[in-house]
Structure 1
């Protein structure tokens, strides 16, 4: 089973533009869960490595997420034991902008009222203060965000293969910050074939895509 063509465009857009995701893995047989914040890149069906295209020659569209990790990590051991994983992506862009604005506001000295009338206006709860505007925008931003939980099957790519170099290059091109995770002899490039999705919208409605 592959990730369906009917995935909403905003989910695909989020996959293409985000830099980080949360990766959930689970060990076997203990079933101990683990969550990691990961750099990644999304590989659309038309850009997958040629061998993966051949596997999907029957018409099955294959969507991948590519990540890099050290082989002596808990997440890698979990994947080796249990390739079934989940990833969470979330639209943090608006919230980040608001956080930066809030920080800027907190570092800006509050001017003294120039007059009694100005002071009275500032105390008026109906007065459109900067803080009130910020809170209103924050509420709106929370409503506009969405998140998607994607399930898939993870596989470490053979480090001596052309496929390894192909996906490593794609990861670094999309996210140069991931370079620190691709250095050394102990690096693993992991590809996750997406299989299903659960999407929550701004009103907490949930849609499933298999």
Structure 2
């Protein structure tokens, strides 16, 4: 029988080993730099809504000495309406490989193929997934706002986000490129496939999330909490866009 690794069912309803910091923990920064998308959760009238988003992480900028996360959105979207009504948002980001491992008792309605039906590519993805189980996921709490339309701040964040999310087709292979195009069209409400339209469109609004707290979770169920507090004095402007 294969040895099972015991999970740590640590109580996590409250603050767990909370610390305060003026910068994000290094493992969270690495996660934000590695991942391509995050999940944005907004809520109004006790009705939660989750969106898959392109994003840009900036450790600081001319407009904020603190770390921010920049996104763009269709002004007529549900998430835009939600964050205008309630700026409190939650973000989930991780760099785990998302390939689903095979289940021991496969059902007709789901589950991945067993070894006898698995392609070499699927086996490679499974191995990558196994090697990534020591990664963390980060739940980020923050306050979101729409950058003022036509402002220098909006232009700056839009440009950083565009540079960070514009890819050459030859480096965005296969299904990943298709997923990337679908996300562009979703955020821009555009039927075109022009690169960058989801950022550069005139009607697209720039969302800036000021980070308030972070929860780091690992695959064993261990959690750590951090409060992000303003640092003393202005920080140098750093371009954190990749």
- Structure 1 length as normaliser, TM-score? 0.69
Distance in 2 (alpha carbons) for counterparts of 1:190 and 1:79: 9
Partner Cα distance (2:38, 2:120) in 1? 30
Is residue 152 of structure 1 aligned with residue 146 of structure 2? no
User: Is 1:203 matched with 2:199?
Assistant: no
SS of 1:89's equivalent in the other structure is strand
Displacement after TM superposition at 1:5 (Å): 3.4
User: Which secondary structure state, in structure 2, belongs to the residue aligned with residue 166 of structure 1?
Assistant: helix
Contact 2:161 2:199 in 1 (8 A): no
Cα deviation 1:53-100 (Å, max 9, x = unaligned): 4xxxxxxxx1100000010000000010000000000112x456x99x
- The aligned residue for residue 87 of structure 1 is 91
2: CA distance, partners of 1:175 / 1:139: 25
Q: Which 4+ residue blocks in structure 1 deviate beyond 4 angstroms?
A: none
SS in 2 for 1:72: coil
Alignment of 1:162 onto 2:152: yes
Q: Structure 2 vs 1, CA of residues 202 and 162 (structure 1 numbering), >3 Å: closer, same or farther?
A: same
Q: State the distance in 2 between where 1:88 and 1:170 align.
A: 21
Shift of 1:31: 1.8
Is 1:185 the counterpart of 2:202? The answer is: yes
Specify which structure has the higher proportion of helix.
1
Contact preservation (8 Å) 1:142, 1:202? no
TM-score by length of 2: 0.61
Between the aligned partners of 2:55 and 2:93, the Cα distance in structure 1 is 11
SS at match of 1:144: coil
CA contact (8 A) 2:23 2:67 kept: no
SS at match of 2:201: coil
Aligned equivalent of 1:31: 46
**Structure of larger gyration radius:** 1
Of 64, 67, 76, which residue of structure 1 is paired with 2:71? Answer: 67
Structure 1 portions without partners, runs of 5+:
54-61, 109-129
**RMSD across aligned C-alpha pairs, in angstroms?**
3.0
Shift of 1:106: 1.9
> Which residue of structure 2 lines up, in the alignment, with residue 140 of structure 1?
130
Q: Tell me how far apart the structure 1 counterparts of residues 58 and 129 of structure 2 sit (CA, whole Å).
A: 33
Q: 2:62 aligns with which of 39, 49, 57?
A: 49
